[in-house]
Amino acid sequence: MSRKTLIPIGPYHPLQEEPELFKLYCDGEIVKDIQWVTGYNHRSIEKLSESKTYEQVFFLVERICGICSTSHPFAFANAVEEIAGIEITDRTKYIRSIIGELERIHSHLLWVGLAGHFLGYNTVFMWAWKYREPVLDLFEMITGNRNSYAMFRVGGVRRDIENHKIAEIRRVLGEVKSKTDLLTGAVMDDPVIHARTKGVGVLTRQDVIDYGAVGPTARASGVAIDVRKDDPYAAYPLVDWKVITSEAGDVFAKAEVRLLEMYESISIIEQCLKGLEKEKEGEINVKVTEIPEGMGNGRAEAPRGEVFHFVVSDGSNSPARHKIRAPSYVNIATFKKSCIGQTIADATITLAGVDPCYCCTERLAVVCDAHSGEKLMNAKELIERSAVRTASLNKEFNCNK
């Protein structure tokens, strides 16, 4: 009989910026099973959102995650605009896409750096984070803040990108592009990185489909899903770009997809800037008088995959129900496939490989009463309870019409 050793990673571990607990059950060096404990980061955002007005919710959903702080407002705006049937102006579309793509560049650079750090290759970490700074400076110039941009509102954006700023954006993009060349060359040709990441944490195409993985995690296994193509929004149907995929499904393929996506993002921004020059300055808002009763789905492609927001409006000035699903929530489940059978040293980079963002992912689970200690719910009871809840919601909001 083999004996398993439990190796906890976290919740406050030097490897992670965020609090999260992974339990690796190991036999010798090999990971046999993995468990994931959550809740350290829970802020009850869906509940808070119901107490805020539509204008205020943007500031709240922006703070779900600091790295994808455009994707959540993007999806929320799409959802509310679907309820109210608002058509935004072309200039707004371009501005929204520019912000979304700049965010993708900074997020992917951040990931490349952190992945290098997890491999113990701190040179890559320092490089990537150094080259990320110009993008943050650009954000500061456009929006006034380095991280939480507060650019979105229902029916438009809060600030215009004036035409005299376009030259500066082009200059920084050129700079970022040349640095990306350098970084891509360094990562793709490095024998150490090849040795550490090729064949590590492999997800097959079938695994991705089974677990419903999204974003670069899915695209690295040859599944070409991208909300920007599948359900186009903002300026993405107006510009020419392609979905990057790779076949191998290992950590190297994930890095490759992200690095190549940065070039696509740069090209999208350049085309959007051209579009922006043709539009009249200042036309960034349509007048919104009320949000009628109804339901809306909003999707947006975050750097990590699909962000999904579901909003129910009862005609008042705040959402009656707001449901959020972030990409990491489904991507993290793939650890059950990718980590098992790896050595412990490879498990860390596999965990980092999907670019997990735990602050998006938090769910609250009450399994027993903290004071009396009774009533432990099992999976069957939870499913039954969820079915009852869904039925009552359907009844309340007349979903079956």
Partner 1 sequence: MGFKNYCFRKSLWVFHFGGASCNNCDIEILDCLTPRHDLERFGILLVGSIRHADLLLVNGSINKHDRERLVEIYKQAPKPILVVAIGACGCTGGIFADSITFAGPVDKVIPVDAYIPGCPPKPEAIIAGIVKLVNKRR
Q: Which residues pair with 322 in a beta bridge?
A: 311
Interaction between residue 42 and partner 1 (CB under 8 A)? yes
Show the beta-strand stretches assigned E in 215-304. Answer: 294-302
Interaction between residue 9 and partner 1 (CB under 8 A)? no
Convert residues 355-384 into a mask of x (bound to partner 1 by CB under 8 A) and - (unbound): --x-x--x-x--------------------
d(CA 73, CA 346): 35
Interaction between residue 39 and partner 1 (CB under 8 A)? yes
Six-digit token string for 395: 């009844």
Interaction between residue 44 and partner 1 (CB under 8 A)? yes
Candidate residues 27, 133, 181, 369; the one interacting with partner 1 per rule CB under 8 A: 133
Interaction between residue 46 and partner 1 (CB under 8 A)? no
Candidate residues 31, 95, 109, 110; the one interacting with partner 1 per rule CB under 8 A: 110
| Choices 11-19, 88-96, 320-328, 372-380; region in contact with partner 1 by CB under 8 A | 11-19
Candidate residues 47, 205, 274, 280; the one interacting with partner 1 per rule CB under 8 A: 47
The one-letter amino acid code at 331 reads N
The one-letter amino acid code at 305 reads G
| Choices 127-135, 206-214, 305-313, 348-356; region in contact with partner 1 by CB under 8 A | 127-135
Six-digit token string for 271: 């085309």
Q: Are 370 and 61 in contact (CB under 8 A)?
A: no
Interaction between residue 99 and partner 1 (CB under 8 A)? no
- Tell the smallest beta-carbon distance from residue 137 to partner 1 (Å): 10
Interaction between residue 389 and partner 1 (CB under 8 A)? no
Candidate residues 63, 177, 321, 323; the one interacting with partner 1 per rule CB under 8 A: 63
Give the residue carrying structure tokens 């050129």: 174
d(CA 266, CA 244): 14
Interaction between residue 318 and partner 1 (CB under 8 A)? no
- Can you say whether residue 333 is alpha, beta or left, with left for phi > 0 and alpha for psi between -120 and 50 degrees? alpha
DSSP 139-194: HHHHHS-SS----EETTEESS---GGGHHHHHHHHHHHHHHHHHHHHHHHH-HHHH
Q: How many residues does the chain have?
A: 401
Virtual torsion, Cα 203, 204, 208, 213, nearest 10 deg? 30
Q: In what order do the strands lie in the sheet with 21-27?
A: 5-9, 21-27, 30-37
Instruction: Compute the chain's Rg from CA coordinates.
Output: 22
Torsion over CA: 125, 130, 131, 136 (sign)? positive
Which CB atom, from 119 or from 202, has the smaller least distance to partner 1? 119
Give the residue carrying structure tokens 């979905």: 243
Which CB atom, from 114 or from 208, has the smaller least distance to partner 1? 114
Nearest to 316 by CA among 57, 44, 43: 57
Interaction between residue 387 and partner 1 (CB under 8 A)? no
- Tell the smallest beta-carbon distance from residue 190 to partner 1 (Å): 19
Ranges within 19-38 binding partner 1 (CB under 8 A):
19
- Tell the smallest beta-carbon distance from residue 221 to partner 1 (Å): 26
- Tell the smallest beta-carbon distance from residue 113 to partner 1 (Å): 8
Candidate residues 2, 14, 189, 398; the one interacting with partner 1 per rule CB under 8 A: 14
| Choices 129-137, 158-166, 239-247, 250-258; region in contact with partner 1 by CB under 8 A | 129-137
Name the 3-class secondary structure at 301.
Answer: strand
Which CB atom, from 41 or from 297, has the smaller least distance to partner 1? 41
Contacts with partner 1, residue ranges (CB under 8 A): 11-14, 17-19, 39-45, 47-48, 51, 59-60, 63-67, 69, 110, 113, 125-126, 129-130, 133, 146-148, 357, 359, 362, 364
